[in-house]
Amino acid sequence: MAVLLETTLGDIVIDLFTDERPKTSLNFLKLCKIKYYNYCLFHNVQRDFMVQTGDPTGSGRGGDSVFSKLYGDQARFFDVEKVPRIKHKKKGMVSMVNNGNNQHGSQFLITTADGVDYLDGVHTVFGEVSEGLEVLAKINETFVDKDFLPFQDIRINHTVVLEDPFDDPPNLPVPDSSPEPTKEQLDSGRIGADEAIDDNEGRAAEELDELLKEKEAKTQAILLEMVGDLPDAEVKPPENVLFVCKLNPVTTDEDLDIIFSRFGAIQCCEIIRDWKTGESLCYAFIEFEKEEDCEKAFFKMDNVLIDDRRIHVDFSQSVSKIKWKGKGGKYSKDDFKAYEKDVDTRSKLALKDKVKPKLEYPFRVYINPIDLTLNPYTAREQHPVAKQHVVLNRPKSTRYQLLLDDEEEEEEEEGPGLRPPERKQPKKPEKPEKQKDDENGRGSQKVSKVDPQTPPSP
């Protein structure tokens, strides 16, 4: 009593519990026999929990039992079978999905984790996966959206009943061959099941090379872990380790220990040496007891002169170009080529920005001074020539300045040219002399200002 599901990712064989779940097994077997599950999507994939399928609409809200094909829509669902109780105790258990009213239709789920006991008593277990657990693992690892719908279609292409202990009910519509899928069935709006996805499409050659190196490094790390050279293949540098480069080959571990110990207690100070020749590679890892001591050393020791060499320090966490192999790991000069290239590039860019001259606008526009004492707002209207008389202040060393000087000399010889005419100040009007009445009240002769020291005339 078994059924073969041919999916787009491989074949899965399900053994049915026909003795414990006769009605549910009958429903599932006959649905497979009439090709009801052909081209059904896996519309709900929750990693390390379960995968769900069996809905021809692909929405998770459809699906009818085989009894609806025999007795009409009133038999769309059938009641659950609770006795005997079978638990979801391991990966690969197959259950009919409860529609919320303790009834089943056509949808079923397969567990992808052990001990999913909170499904017990709700969904009816009627079988288990006997072959194809690796295919189930592929479905479990697929990428899904926020609604747990896979981005690329995963379908049941075909179902084959390997063994059926139940007789076919009368009027069961068994097709002679598997029907061809319709356009609506295959149009899910997602990436098609038969479409090839190239992860490297659109990537640059350098990025592909970097990904290849990372894969090779991970493979080598796993091999080193297997032979006991690494404690863990996924080992990463801690945050309290400082990376030092551009060292002098004569610098020793003791020298660095003495120099960097002023910032805090040091657990380990190690010069990186070639594992074949034993020569210094001019790099070192310094491990502090506290992270704050490591930060102090980073800010204080960069570009410091040690043994006639200006060193460069960096946090080991930010040294992405170096594959961390742990303390005492086997390093070679090739492990640091990418990092050296990156440091040189950053140094050149920083130097270029430093020596780049600041550009200042070399021109200054001004108007020759004119008389604005009468009315500064009407002066321009009275002197429209002043609007045109604009002088550009350019650098003195340019050829343009020499030509400008020659033109100014010619203008002095020929005349004022376009210079605005000088405006003469108007004379102030003389004040009229006051008249003084005589004793008789008649207007007397004009009184002029005289010197107070001069005696008046008779």
| Segment 350-365 mean pLDDT | 49
At 144-164, the pLDDT tens digits run: 999 999 999 999 999 999 999
176 pLDDT exceeds 90? Answer: no
Confidence of residue 263 (pLDDT cuts 50, 70, 90): very high
303 pLDDT exceeds 80? Answer: yes
| Segment 210-239 mean pLDDT | 64
35 pLDDT exceeds 50? Answer: yes
How many alpha carbons lie under 13 Å from residue 270 in its C-beta half-sphere? 16
Confidence of residue 222 (pLDDT cuts 50, 70, 90): low
Predicted local distance difference test score (pLDDT) of residue 81: 93
Distance, CA of 389 to CA of 420 (rounded, Å): 8
Predicted local distance difference test score (pLDDT) of residue 166: 93
Which of 237 and 25 is assigned the larger pLDDT? 25
What six digits make up the tokens of 177?
A: 């061959």
| Segment 46-62 mean pLDDT | 93
Instruction: Supply the Cα-derived Rg of the chain in whole angstroms.
Output: 48
Confidence of residue 359 (pLDDT cuts 50, 70, 90): very low
What six digits make up the tokens of 229?
A: 């050279």
Distance, CA of 389 to CA of 400 (rounded, Å): 18
Q: Residue 411: enclosing H or E segment and its boundaries?
A: helix 399-414
429 pLDDT exceeds 50? Answer: yes
Q: What DSSP string runs through 311-355?
A: -EEEEGGG-TTS----TT--B-GGGGHHHHHHHHHHHHHHHHHHH
450 pLDDT exceeds 50? Answer: no
At 363-418, the pLDDT tens digits run: 444 444 444 444 444 544 554 444 444 444 444 444 555 555 555 555 555 555 44
Share of the chain above pLDDT 90, in %: 37
pTM of the model: 0.49
Q: Residue 182: enclosing H or E segment and its boundaries?
A: none
Confidence of residue 212 (pLDDT cuts 50, 70, 90): confident
Confidence of residue 205 (pLDDT cuts 50, 70, 90): confident
Predicted local distance difference test score (pLDDT) of residue 140: 95
| Segment 177-186 mean pLDDT | 85
Confidence of residue 67 (pLDDT cuts 50, 70, 90): very high
60 pLDDT exceeds 60? Answer: yes
Predicted local distance difference test score (pLDDT) of residue 379: 47
> Which residues have CB under 8 Å from 443's CB, separation 6+?
435, 437
Which of 287 and 418 is assigned the larger pLDDT? 287
Q: How far is CA 244 from CA 294, 301, 306, 312, 318, in A?
A: 12, 9, 11, 6, 12
